[in-house]
Amino acid sequence: MRRYQKIILAMIFITIFILVGMTLMDLVAAAEQTKGGMVLFQETGRDPFLLPSGVRLLSKTDAALGTKGSPSKTEGKPNDILPSPLKVKAILISDRVRLALIDRHIVTVGDSIYDEKVLEIKMDRVILGKGDQKRTLLLSQSPVLLTVEER
């Protein structure tokens, strides 16, 4: 073997030895900490990934329909707009684009949100419609008053 090949092999073995040694030292240190009374994690018997009681995941059909997984107690005609706590958080209007942030959904004119179509986006409101019914969602006002001054 040539000299540089021996040097490269020696460097590889040294690197592997150092990495294995560091891993073993970390394991020993962790074992000593648990013996000394210091607990790395607390076992409560509860799965941290479980949802709280009363909360459940949406199924794919529920998510598409915009329901929360349980059948509605107030069933009406299919074209009725059910009152829901939708809130307009922000509105962006430019020369070419009109966007609204309704809850966590960014929508534009023509989009659907929970089976209602966005008919119009104005400076302070979004008009939704379903069938021949319409409803208006007003922009939530911030408690902080902002003023824009031109220079």
85 and 38: one domain?
Answer: no
Q: How far is CA 98 from CA 58, 102, 106, 109, 142, in A?
A: 30, 13, 10, 7, 20
In a domain, 48, yes or no: no
81 exposure class (CB count in 10 Å sphere: 0-12, 13-18, 19+): middle
For residues 116 and 81, the answer to whether their CB atoms sit within 8 Å is yes
Q: How far is CA 2 from CA 5, 9, 13, 51, 77, in A?
A: 5, 11, 17, 62, 86
In a domain, 52, yes or no: no
In a domain, 129, yes or no: yes
Is the pLDDT at 131 greater than 70? The verdict is: yes
Region 96-102: mean pLDDT is 90
Is the pLDDT at 142 greater than 70? The verdict is: no
Which CATH number belongs to the domain containing residue 111 in this structure? 2.30.30
In a domain, 70, yes or no: no
In a domain, 74, yes or no: no
Domain count, the chain: 2
Query: Could you tell me where the beta strands, DSSP code E, fall in the chain?
Result: 88-93, 98-102, 105-108, 112-113, 116-121, 125-130, 133-138
Q: How far is CA 126 from CA 49, 107, 113, 131, 140, in A?
A: 37, 10, 12, 16, 11
Tell the residue number behind the tokens 């929508």, with chain if given.
107
Strands across the sheet containing 116-121: 112-113, 116-121, 125-130, 133-138
In a domain, 131, yes or no: yes
pTM surpassing 0.75?
A: no
Name, in order, each residue with C-beta under 8 angstroms of 72's C-beta and a sequence gap of 6 or more: 82
Share of the chain above pLDDT 90, in %: 19
In a domain, 4, yes or no: yes
The whole domain housing 18 covers 1-42
- The per-residue pLDDT for 73 is 45
pLDDT tens string 20-50: 777 777 777 766 666 655 554 555 666 777 7
In a domain, 14, yes or no: yes
